[in-house]
Amino acid sequence: MTDARAAAPARVIIENVWPRVDDGSYPIKRIVGDRLEVWADIFRDGHDKLAASLWSRITGDDAWTLTPMRPVDNDRWMAEIPLERMGLVQYRIEAWTDHFGSWRADTEKKRAAGQSLVNELVIGRGLLLGAISKADDPWVLKTLLAAMDEAPDDMARATLLLAETTMRAMDAVPDRTDCAESALFEVIVDRERALFSSWYEMFPRSQGNATDRSGTFADCAARVPAIRALGFDVLYLPPIHPIGVINRKGRNNAVRAEPGDPGSPYAIGSAEGGHTAIHPALGTLDDFRQFQQIVHDHDMELALDFAVQCAPDHPWLKEHPNWFRRNPDGSIKFAENPPKKYEDIVNLDFDQPDWQGLWHALRDVVLFWADEGVRIFRVDNPHTKPAPFWRWLIADIKSRHPDTLFLAEAFTRPKPMRHLAKIGFSQSYTYFTWRNTKAELIEYLTELTQSEMREYFRPNFFANTPDILPAYLQESGRAGFRIRLVLAATLSPTYGIYSGFELGEAASLPGREEYADSEKYEIKSWDWDRPGHIKTDITCLNRLRREAKSLQKLANLTFHAVDHETVLCYSKRTGMDWVLVLVNLDPVTPASFDLAIPHAAFGLAETEPLIAEEVLSGERISWDGPRQRIALDPTMNPTMVLHVRHSVA
């Protein structure tokens, strides 16, 4: 038997809601000030008209905001909402049959054809009565009903029922009896720096003027004006905590340290403290606070390293010995990535019974530094720790401090990298470091900007790191550093350099992508003005990044065809702001080629000249005609970065 009381199956269909990540399993990402466009395919059987609404709210608010959706074409509907606050925004779609709208459309056709409207008026009056019974304030509808009943004839009654005012009144009290509802989707709304920022990484202990003693926070503070003058807005420090004594590494990662060797800052913890302590050679917590204030006074922000690992003499080994892995003979298990061994580091065991205690202790480390005003954390090797832990920690921290940002330093396989971004990391290291050819760059940037990745993966294009001195930089000389700088600074809205890049530092260990005499194991003293530096290029590009809104977005990238195998041409456009970039990827061989002027990409008429400033030289150029002959000589100008203007009448 059938149950006559059972609800009829839904006839309104909602499909292909966009944007979404993995069918809504993870949030998309946006920035405060963005307008979120939500699209969906909405239809039903037959020819009835539909209505749809987008419901949204920020987590923590009880009230939902309703935004009507509008049909675009071919059953595609759209609505947009402003994202005005940081936090987690939820949204869903409701759609239903617009019974009055359907009645109105059919009745209009019959009236235009001169057909009888007797039955239609009865149906329309019934719809009006139904709306009156549901309305919180039915005065307008009751007035319409009274006017309809007093009308002299059917044509007058039809005119009243079909009026725009009646339609608006009925739209305010929709009949949602067959309402269909989509799944619930989410969007993480971050502050602007999550998408657009320029990072500078430096080792605090190398900011002094000697190699036999550590630099201090005061030395770091003295460097801040020069770093800000280069145009950077995020100053990132590797771990600043006490360094372990047991199994301390020597220079160039030597197994045995010599007297005076400072060890690797990634071997965190000693008798002097752990992840919430500061290395005494750098200063005190008050010194850190003064340094951070100077950073803020220069309109910059401090980012700290969060490395989930310990030296063998970290206090946690005595306080929580069960948090660490042991060998069968009971000895502590050191970190390793066979055949490499890291005798100065022991890893935490996330599989031991007190995993919750470990999770909370690590969360409290982040909270400690967040309470000190730190709102950016670069996380070391997050792919070697459980993804559920990161999802929980990031959500917990952002529920307390929504402006907190997390950068995933995960040079690993593509799917784990993408998953870390999906579960909450604000930014991600990328494969840009090893994408050197024209085909490689086009393929990779197309994936980042045109696939679903653009909804959740924010790339941070570091040109080098303390761990990675790419082969390209080792072999390409000053021109190579200029080329990679331009690519990093103009392809991605967020990029970074590790100190020494501006000097063209390229001394490497033989056959390896590692620095010789690495700062990870010794104190350095740098001549920041040594010949051959590219600080002028950095300053010009960072100034352009601040001025050009087009460089502050990710997905607005367009590649342009150039008939030369080593020349990459691309542009970014946002509103009335345009940047055109030409790069000779070969750091040795000059390239000459014809460029087809991309008039359409810049909103220019075919006869209109392309007028621009070449940012690195300051030269003003004006290109007439459909093509231009270009020469890029690595010894002089391996790149051209054009801030494009319309011609002035």
Asked if residue 377 lies in contact with residue 303, where contact means CB atoms within 8 angstroms, the answer is: yes
Catalytic residue among 201, 344, 409, 586: 409
Q: Which helix (H) or strand (E) holds 611?
A: strand 610-614
Rounded CA-CA distance 480/473 in Å is 6
Catalytic residue check, 409: yes
Q: Which of 185, 180, 183 is nearest to 50 (CA)?
A: 180
Task: Report cis status (omega within 30 of 0) of the bond before 19.
Answer: yes
Catalytic residue among 380, 455, 513, 519: 380
Catalytic residue check, 380: yes
DSSP string over 291-317: HHHHHHHTT-EEEEEEE--B-TT-THH
Q: Which of 165, 46, 48 is nearest to 100 (CA)?
A: 48
Q: Are strands 185-190 and 28-31 parallel, antiparallel or unpaired?
A: parallel
Q: Which of 34, 37, 31 is nearest to 18 (CA)?
A: 37
Of all residues in the chain, what percent are helix, strand and coil, respectively (each to 5)?
A: 35, 25, 40
Question: Strands, E, within 124-227: which ranges?
Answer: 180-181, 185-190, 197-201
Asked if residue 266 lies in contact with residue 239, where contact means CB atoms within 8 angstroms, the answer is: yes
Structure token digits, residue 477: 């000389």
Whole-number CA gyration radius for the chain: 31
- 286 Cβ contact list (under 8 Å, min separation 6): none
The dihedral built from the CA positions of residue 174, 179, 182 and 188, taken in this order, carries a sign that is positive
Q: Which of 586, 581, 573 is nearest to 633 (CA)?
A: 586
Asked if residue 238 lies in contact with residue 250, where contact means CB atoms within 8 angstroms, the answer is: no
φ/ψ (deg, to 5) at 404? -75, 140
Rounded CA-CA distance 133/136 in Å is 9
Rounded CA-CA distance 281/268 in Å is 14
- 432 Cβ contact list (under 8 Å, min separation 6): 444, 459, 461, 462, 487, 488, 491, 492
Active site residues: 380, 409
